[in-house]
Structure 1
Amino acid sequence: MHRMMSDKRTIFLMMAPGFAVFFAIVFIPVFVSLFYSFTDWDGISAYRMVGLHNYRELLLHDPVFWKALRNAFLLGGAFLLIQHPLAVATAMILQYCGRAEKALRTILFIPSIISGFVTSKMWVQILSTQFGLLNRLLDAVGLSTWRQDWLGSSSWAIASIIFVAMWQGFGYAFLLYYTGVKGIPQDLHEAARLDGATAWQLNTRIVLPLLQPVIRTSIILAFIAAFKQMDTVYLMTQGGPDNSTQFLATYLYQKAFSINLYGYANAISVLFIIVCLLVTAALNRMGRQEVGEF
Structure 2
Amino acid sequence: MHKLMSNRWTITWLVAPGLTLFLFMVCFPILMSVYYGTTNWTGLGEYQSVGFANYQKVLFDDPIFWRSLWNALLLLLATLLLQHPVAILFAILITRAGRLEKTFRTIFFIPAVISIVVTSKMWVSVFHPSYGVLNKVLEQLGLASLKQDWLGDPSVAIWSLIFVIMWQGFGYALLLYYAGLQGIPKDLYEAAELDGAGKVTLYTRVVVPLLSPMIRVAVIIAVTTCLKQMETVFLMTNGGPGSTTQFLGNYLYKTAFSSSLYGYGNAISVIFVIICLIITVIMNRALKKDVGQF
Shorter-normalised TM range: over 0.9
TM-score scaled to structure 1, two decimals?
Answer: 0.97
Pairwise CA RMSD: 1.1
Question: Is the contact made by 2:212 and 2:292 (CA closer than 8 Å) also made in structure 1?
Answer: no
Inter-partner Cα distance in structure 1 for 2:292 and 2:174: 22
Could you list the per-position Cα deviations for residues 79-123 of structure 1 after superposition, in whole angstroms to 9, with x for gaps in the alignment? 111101111111112111111111100111110010000000000
1:210 equivalenced with 2:210 (yes/no): yes
Return the letter of the residue paired with 1:232: T
**1:1-294 → structure 2 map (5 Å cutoff):** 1-294=1-294
Inter-partner Cα distance in structure 1 for 2:112 and 2:12: 39
Inter-partner Cα distance in structure 2 for 1:8 and 1:186: 46
* SS of match in other structure, 2:293: coil
Offset, 1:185: 1.3
Could you list the per-position Cα deviations for residues 199-240 of structure 1 after superposition, in whole angstroms to 9, with x for gaps in the alignment? 222211111111112112211211111111101000001110
TM-score scaled to structure 2, two decimals?
Answer: 0.97
* SS of match in other structure, 2:47: coil
Inter-partner Cα distance in structure 2 for 1:9 and 1:99: 56
Could you list the per-position Cα deviations for residues 226-268 of structure 1 after superposition, in whole angstroms to 9, with x for gaps in the alignment? 1111010000011100111100001000011111000100011
Gaps of 5+ in 2: none
Inter-partner Cα distance in structure 2 for 1:246 and 1:290: 36
> How many residues matched?
294
Offset, 1:292: 4.4
Offset, 1:29: 1.0
Return the letter of the residue paired with 1:84: H
Return the letter of the residue paired with 1:36: Y
Structure 1 segments (4+ residues) deviating >3 Å: none
Question: Is the contact made by 2:239 and 2:246 (CA closer than 8 Å) also made in structure 1?
Answer: yes
Could you list the per-position Cα deviations for residues 32-64 of structure 1 after superposition, in whole angstroms to 9, with x for gaps in the alignment? 111101111100011111111001111121111
* Percent identical: 52
Return the letter of the residue paired with 1:11: I
Could you list the per-position Cα deviations for residues 120-150 of structure 1 after superposition, in whole angstroms to 9, with x for gaps in the alignment? 0000000000000000000110000100000
